[in-house]
Each structure stands twice: as C-alpha cells, then as structure tokens.
DNA sequence: ATGAGTGCAAATGGTTTGCAAGGCC
DNA sequence: GGCCTTGCAAACCATTTGCACTCAT
C-alpha cells in the first residue's frame, strides 16, 4: 500500500495553508485514499468506506466537508457522471486542463483521455461568443472495445 | 402563446406510439410548456409550476415520470448543470448531435453553441481508444460578455 | 482561550415508488 | 376486462447543517 510521499504531503500542506486550513489526520487519510485509488473515481461514500479502515471514528459528514474543501483548493476535482452521486479524482500538478472521460454505457467503465484536443475549439468559441472560458467538462458516452468484442453490442 | 402545431402533435404522437405509449393531456401539456420555454432550460419543478396553470390537478410525480419518458424516446434531453436538479430541452428533428453549452459562473446564463466542432475530435478518439462514441456532453464554464463588461470580473 | 475541525443526529430537497382510482381500447 | 396512466403520500438517498465537544496554537 503506497502512502503519501513526504513531498506530496508538503505540497498538500501548503495548498491548505495558503487558504488558512489545517492538515488534519482525517484530511490526510482522505487524500491518501483518493491517491491510492487513482483511476477508480470513488464516490464520497466509497471514500468514506475505505477511509474508515485507517480512521474508524471518522464521520461521513467530515468526508463530505473535506472532499468539498479539497475541490475548492484545487487538489482534487469533482467528476459528475449524473448517476446520482459525485466522484472525485486527484489533479496532478502538471495538468493544466481537465482531461476528458469516455463512459461505457454498458459496463460503466471510465476511460481517461489525456490528450487535450479542445484548445483550438475553445479559442474559436471564445471569439465567436465573446465568452471567457475558464474550465470545461467533456464526456463521451458509448461502448468500449471489450463490450463490443463480447458480441452483445455493436 | 404559441401552442403545439398539429404537425408537431402528430410527430409527438408517433414517437410515443412507437414504444407503446399514449399521448395524454398531461404529456401534451408538458411538451407544450417545454417548447414554449425553449432556451430557458427549465427544471422539472419549473415545468411543474408552469404546467399547473393549464393542468391544475397534475401531480409532480407525473411531471417527473413524463420528462423521463420523453427523454427515453428522444423527444427532449436532459441537461445536467450539476446544481442539484435536472433541466430539459427539446431536441429538434434536424439535430443529429447534442449541442454544447456555455455556462456563466457569475450570472448562471446558459448560451447554446450550435456549431458541432467535435466531429474530427470524436473520430480521432474512437480510433485511438477503440471506443464507439454514441453521444457526448460538452460544457464550458466561464464568464459571459455582460458580466465581464459590468467590470466586476475580468 | 480562541477559533478551526470533528462526529453525530437531524434536516433538507430532488427524485422515486407503492397503491388505489380513473380512463381508454 | 385489462392495461396504461395518474395523483397522492410516503419512501429514498445523497448531501448539508446545527451543535456540542475536542484540539491544537
């Protein structure tokens, strides 16, 4: 089980301190779990379940509050799949744009698209609509290769 | 107050009948309200409020059920702004792709982007990730021209 | 000792569901 | 008669909030 490296902890502590927040054991454990489950896009409830193994007294409300806070300060970001609950993923410091997601409507697998590809489109829209774009959310719904191979779907 | 034209009613009736559903007065009134409020992106609750003026006995549950049904058969489509409730807009029969939305984070205005612009990107992703894209959702968050002109935001 | 952070339980609010009654083929 | 549809009220469930308590600085 990989834990937070000391450089990661430093970075986290600084991000929090910048806005006047503290790095509590609970907050640390939550970030730890999110990092350890990178790519899994955990829901708040799932984070709660996992965090309890190393922080048994933690309350669900704390997880909700923390996850909101971490989103605010830009350590993690919310991913809405519109299935009734919010999911979260870490933001890597090298990332300067939100990546996109391919969502398989058959098996619910989520594939990340790291290529940006949206830059020229954004420029065009900013000009045409006189709108300053600060962020974006791009999701593609469809059928992944495994589900297509399985033969049931084309 | 524009009402549904007879050709629109025919199209709607057929879409419903195809799947074995009936065109009830409630369903008709709901579609009517959605069309009359095109561009407003009404929430279910807002649709309910408006529909009651011409259908006072209608229940909120009926609106929820209808809106779900109309989404299923492709007459309207859901727009999630992740603000805790679902909004709906009609799909025009000429549209073969979902259009995009610019969302002003200051005044919550929603601007529609009819240009597709995503076609080449989809082709590229389909090939690279071996993923059959069926639909997409693209939202840009930022600040609209009026809010920028007002001087408060840059 | 002051204010931030927490755990718990209760409240909130959008959406869904169970059910009895109504309406149409 | 059977089935779809509806209205109502209750249930659901993710998230938020109030509050008393704890804990660092």
Q: How does pLDDT run across A110-150, given as a tens digit for each residue?
A: 999 988 789 999 999 999 999 999 999 999 999 999 999 98
CB atoms within 10 A of CB A95: 12
Mutate to test the interface with B, among A71, A131, A134, A136 (most CBs of B within 10 A): A131
- Give the DSSP H/E element, type plus range, for residue A65: helix A60-72
Tens of pLDDT along B94-153? 877 789 999 999 999 999 998 888 999 999 999 999 999 999 999 999 999 999 998 666
Task: Say which nucleotide is closest to residue A63, CA to C1' distance.
Answer: C6
From B141, which residue of chain A is nearest by alpha-carbon distance?
A135
SS3 of residue B109 by DSSP: coil
Closest-CA distance, A138 to chain B, in angstroms, reads 5
| Helix residue spans in chain B (DSSP H) | 6-18, 25-36, 44-51, 60-72, 119-129, 145-149
**Three-class SS of residue A6?**
helix
């Amino acid at each position: 089980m990989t834990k937070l490296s000391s450089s990661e902890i430093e970075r986290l502590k600084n991000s929090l301190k910048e806005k006047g927040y503290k790095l509590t054991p609970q907050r640390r454990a939550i970030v730890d779990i999110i990092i350890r489950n990178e790519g899994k896009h955990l829901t708040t409830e799932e984070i709660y379940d996992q965090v309890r193994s190393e922080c048994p007294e933690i309350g669900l409300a704390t997880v909700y509050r923390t996850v909101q806070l971490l989103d605010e300060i830009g350590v993690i970001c919310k991913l809405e799949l519109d299935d009734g609950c919010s999911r979260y993923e870490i933001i890597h410091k090298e990332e300067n744009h939100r990546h996109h997601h391919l969502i398989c409507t058959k098996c619910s697998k989520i594939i990340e698209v790291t290529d940006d590809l949206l830059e020229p489109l954004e420029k065009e829209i900013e000009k045409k609509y006189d709108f300053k774009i600060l962020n974006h959310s791009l999701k593609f719904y469809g059928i992944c290769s495994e589900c297509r191979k399985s033969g049931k779907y084309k």
